[in-house]
């Protein structure tokens, strides 16, 4: 294939796709049209289902630059095909058309040009000449999944139109974009970017109906119905039509409901009127749908719902971002630092909505309040619109979800293919048998096609979804809501669950445990009460009073829970200036804090000696001049404040202790800082450090407004620690213990301090007391040195600092065991922070799988790192669950196999599951229901397989005597038996506790195949015995309307035979002894396999507790027994059953009883006791393996095991799951786990493959 004809778009991103160009070919189109007519429209359907075939059948390859159609294929594991038509966007019709404005806006259709200087006319003309398409004033583009891709001549590829969120520096935001757009520029950009709306169109019922009806399954049903009608099976055809209509209507209702729900969520505030600033400083009011990147939007005083993503360039906003993050805590947004006026310039820094999120207002979030100074408006520059916004991307992920890849569904297709193969054999057999018996051609065609419809059951999809629907209903009852029902089955396979810490494992709020101040570089004793007269004027309390992002909303103090607790502990009062005051005075303090009067001493103030304030105590107030909000990347926040009447301003900073200490003067940090911090974090306390410095008197209010935070946050004086207590939730230890007993690994992913996280992991039982914790501290390459990992043992960190001699107990003992079950007792866990995790991902790829196998604590993790961790765990074949409060976990919740959000806010819309109660007890409940649903799916699949094969074999046997099952016989089997059984056998609730055993992940597994095949052979054997045995009976003859076999046993049934003597000739030869025998035997067989397959423990409640199923089966058994042993003339007439002697009825009953005994014995004894426990013994990690250790069993069991293992060739195999294979390898690796105080270095020469070597530092 020519490389020129294949390109990649969205390279390196989640939706990366290969793109191929095609042009329409007339002769190919004519051939396809002819094919459609010849196949009666079936070819058209096939091309509708297969976009790749559709394009290749009607088009020829062309260069991507000049093509009319593009074919797209995703590069992920699904390799899905899409096609899109190339469209032309005409620019010459626009009234504002001019070369200069065109080049500014469009040029190559790439929005980076929006950042270019608009005055460089010569450059713009040069740009136009570079792009041939511009000379015709037309731009080629196509749309895919609500995103427009424009042709870019520079890249020689299609690329989506970016806003100001990429390639634009912070300098140019102020220099080139802060003035606003001209009307002409705005009009052109609107032409390109389109309407600023996230439109979720609710499809019409007709459109949805057509899409649903054209599903391959319904087409097959339509084919079946037409076939049955031609064969006069009207009742059964009608029943299937009714079933299909009900199924389609319920499906349409749920799809339409989801669309309406999403549409309402998006459209709630889709169109508002906004004010924008134009170049000439005029203000214009437009609809929010007309906004384009580059527009300068005025944020109204009373707040608004943001219609786009915009960067704040003037003023401050208080925003509720619960729609995006799931956190209802208001966030303060400040204007983007202006590099032009900052003391320390950052001219080259590029603006990014993710990095500068504290300055970015996101679409869909609610601006509660705005603040401005000296009458200036609060302004923001629009950076992204429509589906490019953060909300737009969230909606896209819901509209176009990734397909669910699960072994069960892949195996289901294989199973259907097997059934099709079986049907093909029956098809050929029927044709040959009919030709040999000189049957009419029309009958041959109908009967041979009929065998296909019998083999592939039309009720299969409805039966498969029944278990999931019931599980979804049960989950709803316990407060777990699901937006992706298919994932319930996958949750049954989860063998690892990641938990967020704060708000998930621990309580949401923090309690202030105490403070530990520092004086003269020494820690004082811890103090519990901060709210006292001695400390009221200290710098420490001043820092607690000012260094926060609290604000008053409708008179109530709100903000970060940690800040709230800290502020409440000192008992101060916060007052905010009114809008009128801010407008009147240029330098008024926007926020003032002061202590309550009762805390102030009556005489001169006592406190820090540096404070030379001898004013009246009543007027001791601190004004917050400038705020640098908390940044998770920097792990700190700071403020500039001034005590009323003081000449110099103060800078206060608080944040992660390690970060704060690194920004303080070394002489002010106590020598034992690390030891004290470690002592607190080991006990599970959340520790925050405080620092302070006096600013120079020449720093005026105006200068402070424009100063960079780097100029403030250095050379500080370390003031001490605030110790917060984060209590474990009451249910946490018990839930984690349940998961451990079920051999489900638990992992902690948190934004908190490493040692605090390790401590909490120990407290909640995630890490057992005797387990060792190895901390991996990875350092990136620096000063020509390669990246390296230092290994420390957490519990021996303090011992190691005193002496290099390490106690042998500190190193986990590891023996090479034959059984993988002993892997669980290998007592070590890895812990690392987000920075180390990133370095390891980049420079030590070959270590990542090993660390995933025992990594338990991941601290200081950013939201995107949480997602990367979930991916890394999935890469070693773990089925990963993620439980978080929705705040920073959106990406990870979406990526995991089963994501459970404990927040009911809108952000959790991306999570497959949402728990009403914010408790992790929902995790075992979900896994239990998942396992039950998965086992139900297997039971139903096995039952449907047996139903197909039993009916297929019944029909094949009857075809051999040129007979068939009657219309009402089919109807009775399919409706009265199969549907009733399928929909009631799915009702078994989940087992009350989690067990260590995991259900198989797919249908193609030893135990399931053995189960199905053994039951097929048993059913075929007993049907064959009955079919051939009836022919050996003394009373047997080829049945005709005047046959009266009943009279051979006396006149007991004489009356019932008169009816048959009066019947007309049977054209289909339904009524005969073989048919009656096969009908009764097969009817019982359906019920026998239903009972054999309806297993309870260990994943579901026993079937006798499923009362509807028990009642249904008993009723059906009673009815069939009754009509078999005591025939009723009217029923026999409807079902087309003939009268057989009483002794044969008893014989049939004996055959049925023996069949039932053999089926139940094989399924429940042979499979469960011998095969499951001996041959297909499952280890704790959930894969099949053959046990090499000899269990103390009796001689018979040992003989049975040997025979079965020889028959089934179940030798010891390499485990399928990567983590299992890796675990086997690591058991015999002498270098693993790394020894304490060693370093692993990346090899400098071969960086790309991530090779590394271990060097011991002595």
Cα–Cα nearest to 574, from 609, 553, 601, 550: 550
CA distance 139 to 161: 12
Cα–Cα nearest to 267, from 257, 255, 259: 259
CA distance 1199 to 1205: 10
CB atoms within 10 A of CB 610: 12
The answer to whether 1005 touches 752, Cβ cutoff 8 Å, is no
Enumerate the H helices of 599-700 as residue ranges.
657-662, 673-682
3-class DSSP assignment, residue 1028: helix
List 89's β-bridge partners, or say none: 139
Enumerate the H helices of 456-611 as residue ranges.
460-477, 486-491, 539-546, 561-570, 579-584
CB atoms within 10 A of CB 1247: 14
Q: 78: Cβ–Cβ under 8 A, 6 or more apart, which residues? A: 402, 403, 405
List 553's β-bridge partners, or say none: 556
CA angle 276-282-283, nearest 5°? 35
The answer to whether 444 touches 1037, Cβ cutoff 8 Å, is no
CA distance 29 to 33: 6
| CA atoms within 13 A of residue 1200's CA, in its CB half-sphere | 15
The answer to whether 670 touches 709, Cβ cutoff 8 Å, is no
Whether residue 1233 is preceded by a cis peptide bond, meaning omega within 30 degrees of 0, is: yes
CA distance 283 to 298: 9
CA angle 1158-1164-1169, nearest 5°? 120
The edge-to-edge listing of strands for the beta sheet with 788-793 is 480-482, 913-915, 898-901, 880-884, 496-499, 745-749, 855-859, 828-833, 772-779, 788-793, 1238-1242, 1252-1256
| CA atoms within 13 A of residue 53's CA, in its CB half-sphere | 9
The answer to whether 9 touches 149, Cβ cutoff 8 Å, is yes
3-class DSSP assignment, residue 650: strand
Q: 432: Cβ–Cβ under 8 A, 6 or more apart, which residues? A: none
Element (H, E) at 824: none
CA distance 994 to 790: 38
The answer to whether 1256 touches 1238, Cβ cutoff 8 Å, is yes
Backbone dihedral angles phi then psi of residue 598, each to the nearest 5 degrees? -65, -20
3-class DSSP assignment, residue 1: coil
CA distance 874 to 892: 12
CB atoms within 10 A of CB 820: 18
Q: 424: Cβ–Cβ under 8 A, 6 or more apart, which residues? A: none
Q: How would you write 46-78 as a 3-class SS string?
A: HHHHCHHHHHHHHEEEECHHHCCEEEEEECCCC
Element (H, E) at 821: none
Any idea which residues carry the catalytic annotation?
500
Residue 374 gets the label, from left (phi > 0), alpha (psi -120 to 50) or beta, of left
Residue 879 gets the label, from left (phi > 0), alpha (psi -120 to 50) or beta, of beta
């Amino acid at each position: 294939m020519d490389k020129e004809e294949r390109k990649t778009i969205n390279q390196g991103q989640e939706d990366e796709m290969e793109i191929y160009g095609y042009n329409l070919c007339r002769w190919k189109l004519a051939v396809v049209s002819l094919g459609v007519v010849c196949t009666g429209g079936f070819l058209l359907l096939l091309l509708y289902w297969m976009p790749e075939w559709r394009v290749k059948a009607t088009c020829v390859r062309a260069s991507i630059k000049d093509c009319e159609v593009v074919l797209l294929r995703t590069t992920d594991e699904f390799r899905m095909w899409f096609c899109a038509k190339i469209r032309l966007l005409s620019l010459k019709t626009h009234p504002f058309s001019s070369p200069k404005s065109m080049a500014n806006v469009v040029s190559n259709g790439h929005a980076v040009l929006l950042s270019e200087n608009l005055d460089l006319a010569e450059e713009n003309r040069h740009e136009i000449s570079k792009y041939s398409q511009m000379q015709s004033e037309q731009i080629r583009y196509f749309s895919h999944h609500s995103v427009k891709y424009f042709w870019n001549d520079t890249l020689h590829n299609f690329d989506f139109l970016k806003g100001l969120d990429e390639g634009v520096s912070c300098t140019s935001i102020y220099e080139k974009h802060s003035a606003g757009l001209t009307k002409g520029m705005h009009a052109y950009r609107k032409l390109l970017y389109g309407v600023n709306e996230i439109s979720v169109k609710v499809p019409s019922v007709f459109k949805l109906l057509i899409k649903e009806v054209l599903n391959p399954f319904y087409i097959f049903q339509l084919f079946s119905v037409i076939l049955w009608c031609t064969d006069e099976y009207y009742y059964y055809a009608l029943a299937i039509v009714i079933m299909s209509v009900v199924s389609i209507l319920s499906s349409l209702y749920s799809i339409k409901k989801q669309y309406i729900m999403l549409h309402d969520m998006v459209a709630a505030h889709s169109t508002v009127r906004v004010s924008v600033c134009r170049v000439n400083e005029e203000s214009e009011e437009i609809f929010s749908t007309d906004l384009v990147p580059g527009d300068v939007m005025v944020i109204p005083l009373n707040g608004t719902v943001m219609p786009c993503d915009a960067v704040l360039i003037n003023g401050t906003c208080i925003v509720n971002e619960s729609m995006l993050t799931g956190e209802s805590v208001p966030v303060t947004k400040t204007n983007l630092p202006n590099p032009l006026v900052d003391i320390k310039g950052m001219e080259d820094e590029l603006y990014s909505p993710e990095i500068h999120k504290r300055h970015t207002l996101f679409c869909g979030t609610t601006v509660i309040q705005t603040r401005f100074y000296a009458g200036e408006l609060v302004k923001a520059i629009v950076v992204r619109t429509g589906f490019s916004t953060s909300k737009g991307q969230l909606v896209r992920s819901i509209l176009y979800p990734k397909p669910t890849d699960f072994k069960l569904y892949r195996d289901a297709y294989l199973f259907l293919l097997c059934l099709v193969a079986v049907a093909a054999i029956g098809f050929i057999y029927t044709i040959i048998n009919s030709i040999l018996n000189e049957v009419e051609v029309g009958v041959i065609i109908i009967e041979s096609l009929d065998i296909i419809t019998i083999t592939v059951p039309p009720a299969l999809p409805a039966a498969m979804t029944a278990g999931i629907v019931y599980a979804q209903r049960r989950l709803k009852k316990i407060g777990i809501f699901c937006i992706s029902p298919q994932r319930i089955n996958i949750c049954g396979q989860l063998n690892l669950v990641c938990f967020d810490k704060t708000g998930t494992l621990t309580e949401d709020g923090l309690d202030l445990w105490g403070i530990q101040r520092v004086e003269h570089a020494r820690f004082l004793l811890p103090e519990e009460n901060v709210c006292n007269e001695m400390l009221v004027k200290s710098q420490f309390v001043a820092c607690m009073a000012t260094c926060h992002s609290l604000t008053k909303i409708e008179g109530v103090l709100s903000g970060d829970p940690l800040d709230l607790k800290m502020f409440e502990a000192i008992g101060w009062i916060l007052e905010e200036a009114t809008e009128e005051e801010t407008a009147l005075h240029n330098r008024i303090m926007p926020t003032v804090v002061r202590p309550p009067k009762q805390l102030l001493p009556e005489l001169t103030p006592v406190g820090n000696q540096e404070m030379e304030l001898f004013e009246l105590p009543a007027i001791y107030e601190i004004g917050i001049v400038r705020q640098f909000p908390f940044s998770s990347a920097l792990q700190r926040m700071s403020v500039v404040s001034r005590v009323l009447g003081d000449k110099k301003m103060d800078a206060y900073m608080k944040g992660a202790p390690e970060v704060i200490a690194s920004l303080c003067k070394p002489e002010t940090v106590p020598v034992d800082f690390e030891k004290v911090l470690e002592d607190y974090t080991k006990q599970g306390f959340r520790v925050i450090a405080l620092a302070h410095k006096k600013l120079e008197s020449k720093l005026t209010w105006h200068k402070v407004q424009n100063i960079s935070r780097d100029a403030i946050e250095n050379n500080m004086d370390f003031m001490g620690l605030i110790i917060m207590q984060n209590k474990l939730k009451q249910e946490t230890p018990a839930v984690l213990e349940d998961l451990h007993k079920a051999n489900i690994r638990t992992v902690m992913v948190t934004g908190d301090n490493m040692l605090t996280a390790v401590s909490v992991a120990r407290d909640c039982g995630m890490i057992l007391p005797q387990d060792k914790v190895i901390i991996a501290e990875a350092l990136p390459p620096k000063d020509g040195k390669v990246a390296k990992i230092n290994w420390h043992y957490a519990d021996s960190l303090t011992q190691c600092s005193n002496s290099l001699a390490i106690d042998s107990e500190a190193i986990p003992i590891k023996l090479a065991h034959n059984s993988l079950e002993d892997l669980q007792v290998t007592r070590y866990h890895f812990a690392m922070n987000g920075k180390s995790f990133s370095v390891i991902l980049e420079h030590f790829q070959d270590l990542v799988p090993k660390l995933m196998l025992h990594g338990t604590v991941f601290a200081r993790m950013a939201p995107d790192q949480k997602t990367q961790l979930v991916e890394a765990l999935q890469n070693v074949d773990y089925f990963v669950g993620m439980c978080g409060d929705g705040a920073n976990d959106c990406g990870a919740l979406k990526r995991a196999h089963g994501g459970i959000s404990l927040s009911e806010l809108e952000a959790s819309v991306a999570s497959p599951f949402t728990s009403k109660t914010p408790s992790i007890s929902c995790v075992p409940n979900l896994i239990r229901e998942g396992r039950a649903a998965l086992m139900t799916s297997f039971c139903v699949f096995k039952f449907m397989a047996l139903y197909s094969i039993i009916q297929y074999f019944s029909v094949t046997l009857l075809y051999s005597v040129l007979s068939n099952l009657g219309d009402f016989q089919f109807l009775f089997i399919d409706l009265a038996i199969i549907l009733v059984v399928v929909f009631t056998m799915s009702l078994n609730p989940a087992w009350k506790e989690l067990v260590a055993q995991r259900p198989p992940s797919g249908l193609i597994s030893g135990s399931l195949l053995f189960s199905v095949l053994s039951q097929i052979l048993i059913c075929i054997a007993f049907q064959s015995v009955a079919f051939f045995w009836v022919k050996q009976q003394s009373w047997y003859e080829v049945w005709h309307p005047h046959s009266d076999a009943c009279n051979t046993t006396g006149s007991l049934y004489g009356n019932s035979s008169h009816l048959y003597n009066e019947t007309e000739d049977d054209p289909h030869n339904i009524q005969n002894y073989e048919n009656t025998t096969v009908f009764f035997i097969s009817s019982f067989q359906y019920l026998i396999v239903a009972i054999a397959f309806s297993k309870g423990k260990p994943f579901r409640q026993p079937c006798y507790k499923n009362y509807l199923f028990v009642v249904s089966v008993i009723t059906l058994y009673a009815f069939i027994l009754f009509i078999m042993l005591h025939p009723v003339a009217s029923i026999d007439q409807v079902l087309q059953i003939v009268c057989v002697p009483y002794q044969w009825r008893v014989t049939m009953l004996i055959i049925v009883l023996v069949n039932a005994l053999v089926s139940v014995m094989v399924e429940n004894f042979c499979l469960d006791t011998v095969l499951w426990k001996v041959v297909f013994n499952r280890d704790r990690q959930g894969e099949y393996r053959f046990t090499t250790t000899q269990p103390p069993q009796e001689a018979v069991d040992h003989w049975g095991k040997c025979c079965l293992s020889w028959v089934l060739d179940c030798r010891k195999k390499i485990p399928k799951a990567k983590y299992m294979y890796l675990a086997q390898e690591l058991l015999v690796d002498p270098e693993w786990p790394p020894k304490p105080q060693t370093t692993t270095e990346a090899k400098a020469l071969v960086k790309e493959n991530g090779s590394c070597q271990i060097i011991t530092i002595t």
